[in-house]
Structure 1
């Protein structure tokens, strides 16, 4: 028992308490009815009669030590709590947190500006599904069955069926909305009415991600169908759009091209807004950047939608919003649009 008393003396003298939880653990360990000191007093009953007096004096000293240490710890904990309570909940010497204003994403800014420009010349905004059937995405647009865009390397297919026209896929362009608009006009109670619409939205293609390409991006397409619509109407519309979106000094050129859904077709280039036409990595050192594809709606597309190509004509165009935003704000890597880097987004505050 003498060794146990000495060991407990050492424990109590080395004990530390800094909070209420530790104080309660100390009390239970040494001073409670089942504590270590009480157990030693119980063991005194079995000690030899001649040793009880000496052991009792040592146990009383141990008990007094444990109680004195408990009292000291209790005063320390209470003093610490009073000091903490007297301190304010916040530091008045700290600088204030600025009330930061958010900003729109640059793609949203350009998208809204594009819509604004076309709405002013009579175009309305249309929308459609992003998950589409092969017919609306390819078939009705005069894509041949063996066209490369139908293959897996270009298109994300959701479900392949026994009937290719019913295959389910993620749309590769917003032209599917054009087909649905033409069907609505064909089936409208009042008969055919002119279509003059743009259709902005997200599209998907199975492409490698780089500074100039991504597997998902945003397009805005437009269509105008009525009596006697000609290629000059297309050129005037796009000339107006480019001058309004960029600057009056921006140069524009039309290059003959091929698209299954337009005939004749042309690609639209503008002078590079980043290098001013002197040549850079964005324009591939040519001074020109392609921004859109366009052309007169192919008669086969009109026929597929139930519109008489001998009575009605129209033009269509489509462009990538990411590419337009790159040129307008001189962004050299479109991957920045998807990284949500606050340092990049804050550059567009106030626009």
Structure 2
């Protein structure tokens, strides 16, 4: 019996050795015949079983059955692997795709300066607890003018400034300040938002003006909001945008119907110390208009102006992008020049 057990071990070892090296379906079939065929090695072992005693048969029989199952399972696994490999090779040969063909490097894209500066602004204000708000670009007269304390006879309603639509009381918003009203109608104070977006003016296009431009509006409403809060917020924002700890601000009076008092905030020129073409030799650069929210605006939105106050500010994203990236012509931001845009990749 020890002899037949030794033969089982030898058959197993020989089968595994030959199976591990075969890479051809025809050779695999020959291995199957040699070991599992009617005249194969397994059949020889089965015939040798007849010469054993009943007790030996009961011991060796299960070993031979297990050997047969193991050899058949390994054979089928190898056959499936070779079939799959052959099908893959056939598919590649039939395909017109040449894996060795030269493929030029894919040109990497980049964010547009508008998108980049918008993301920076949003991130800065979100760290200060502000939400990002949005509103319709085709606006109603009420939201663009009336609710912002701009009466019917205000110059901003002049046909030369505003793009009016044929639909009654409809226009293309002239500023993103209209988002203030939408937000205050839906959200009760305290609230803090910034609203970047497009605005439209009926203007001729030149190096510093366009009829479509990007603007960002900021609004904070709560209790005991003061001018000090406004100036601290704008300074923190400008320091983050221009990546400078030392930002000198200049505040001067300004008029905006929806804030009272209104101010203009300038920053000391970040490009020079004694005057340059960017600051027009003045050493100051206009950055934004701002002020404390006019009580009439709060009343239009159903907010008690005796309980709540707030500040608002607005600045041109276009101008900010031009300053940050040293762009001297606004039209470069819209002409889709690859040579210009690839500078920001």
Q: Is the contact between residue 235 and residue 247 of structure 2 (CA under 8 Å) also seen in structure 1?
A: no
Structure 2 partner of 1:168: 170
Residues 277 and 287 in structure 1, CA contact (< 8 A), matched pair in contact too: yes
Picking from 222, 225, 244, the partner of 1:226 is: 222
- Corresponding residue of 2:258: 261
Query: Which residue of structure 1 aligns with residue 119 of structure 2?
Result: 112
Report the counterpart of residue 304 of structure 2 in structure 1. 308
Q: Which runs of 5+ in 2 are unaligned?
A: 1-95
RMSD of the alignment, in Å? 2.1
Counterpart of 1:265 in 2: which secondary structure?
Answer: strand
Q: 1:280 and 1:333, CA in 2 relative to 1: closer, same or farther beyond 3 A?
A: farther
Aligned to 2:142: 135
In the TM superposition, what are the counterparts of 1:199-214 in structure 2 within 5 Å? 199-214=195-210
Equivalent residues, number: 249
Q: What do the CA deviations read for 1:193-224 (whole angstroms, capped 9, x no partner)? A: 31101111111011121111110011111100
C-alpha displacement at 1:278, in angstroms?
3.4
- Distance in 2 (CA, whole Å) between partners of 1:194 and 1:338 is 38
Which 4+ residue blocks in structure 1 deviate beyond 3 angstroms? none
Aligned-residue offset at 1:184 = 1.1
Deviation at 1:239, TM superposition (A): 0.8
Instruction: Check if 1:238 corresponds to 2:234.
Output: yes
Equivalent residue number for residue 182 of structure 2: 180
Give the Cα–Cα distance (whole angstroms) in 1 for the partners of residues 124 and 211 of structure 2. 28
2:125 is paired with a residue of what secondary structure? helix
Once residues 253 and 280 of structure 1 are traced to their aligned partners in structure 2, the CA distance between those partners, rounded to angstroms, is 18
What are structure 1's unaligned runs of at least 5 residues? 1-88, 162-166, 186-191
Quote the Cα distance in structure 2 between the aligned partners of 1:211 and 1:284.
15
Report 1:47-196 matches (<5 A).
97-159=104-166, 161=168, 167-185=169-187, 192-196=188-192
TM-score (norm 2): 0.69
The residue number in structure 2 matching 1:250 is 247
Residue of structure 2 in register with 1:339 after alignment: 335
Partner of 2:322: 326
